[in-house]
Chains A and B, each alone.
Chain A
Amino acid sequence: MTLGTWTDLVYLVAATGFILALKGLSSPKGARAGNLVGAGAATVAIGFTFTNPDVRAHALNLVLMIVAMVIGAAIAVPAARLVKMTAMPQMVAIFNGVGGGAAALVSIVVFLIDSPGSPAVYRIAEVLFGVLVGCVSFAGSAVAFAKLQELMTGRPITYPGQQAINALVGLAILGLAVATLVTANTALLVVLAVLSLVLGVIFVLPIGGADVPVLISLLNSFTGLAVAASGFTLNSNLLIIAGTLVGASGILLTRMMSQAMGRSLPNILFSAFGSVVTAAGGADGSGADVRPVRTGTPEDIGVLLAYARKVVIVPGYGLAVAQAQHTARELADALAERGVEVIYAIHPVAGRMPGHMNVLLAEANVPYDQLKEMDEANPEMSTADVALVVGANDTVNPAAKNTPGSPIYGMPIINADQAEHVVFLKRSMRPGFAGIDNELLYDPKTTLLFGDAKDTLTKLVAAVNAA
Chain B
Amino acid sequence: MSVTGIVEFLTIFVLAAFVGNEVISKVPSILHTPLMSGSNAVHGIILVGTMIVLGSAHGTVQLVLGFLAVLLATLNVVGGFVVTDRMLEMFKAKPAKPADDGSAAGGAK
Q: Spell out A's residues near B (CB within 8 Å).
A: 14, 18-19, 21-23, 25-28, 31-32, 34-36, 38-39, 42, 45-46, 49-50, 52, 54-58, 60-62, 64-65, 67-69, 71-73, 75-77, 79-81, 83, 85, 88-89, 91-92, 94-96, 98-99, 101-103, 105-106, 108-110, 112-113, 122, 213, 216-217, 220, 223-224, 227-228, 230-232, 234-250, 252-253, 256-257, 260, 333, 336-337, 339, 341, 346, 348, 353-356, 358-359, 362-363, 365, 367-370, 373
Contacts and interface: CB of A to CB of B under 8 A. Distances in A.
B32 A249 contact: no
A240 B46 CA distance: 10
A348 B12 contact: no
Contacts of A240: 9, 12-13, 16
A256 to B, nearest CB: 7
A122 B9 CA distance: 13
B35 A356 contact: no
B63 A95 contact: no
Contacts of B42: 18, 21-22, 38, 42, 224, 242, 245-246
A237 B69 CA distance: 20
Contacts of A39: 41, 81, 85
B108 A337 contact: yes
Given A28-B91, A99-B46, A369-B101, A216 B51 contact: no
Interface in B18-61: 18-21, 23-58, 61
Contacts of A94: 75, 79
Interface in B66-98: 66-95, 97-98
Prevailing SS type, chain B contact patch: helix
Contacts of A228: 13, 16
A28 B30 contact: yes
B43 A35 contact: no
Among A39, A52, A101, max chain B CB count under 10 A is at: A39
A235 B9 contact: yes
Contacts of A99: 40, 43-44, 46, 72-73, 76-77, 80
A237 B66 contact: no
A19 B23 contact: yes
A94 B57 CA distance: 26
A89 B33 contact: yes
Contact of B67 (A64, A220, A234): A64
Nearest to A241: B16
Contacts of A81: 82, 86
Given A95-B44, A253-B32, A102 B50 contact: yes
17 contacts: A18-B45, A22-B23, A25-B39, A27-B31, A38-B38, A42-B45, A45-B48, A65-B51, A75-B79, A81-B86, A88-B33, A98-B75, A105-B53, A249-B23, A253-B24, A368-B94, A370-B100
Given A31-B88, A353-B33, A354-B33, A22 B24 contact: yes
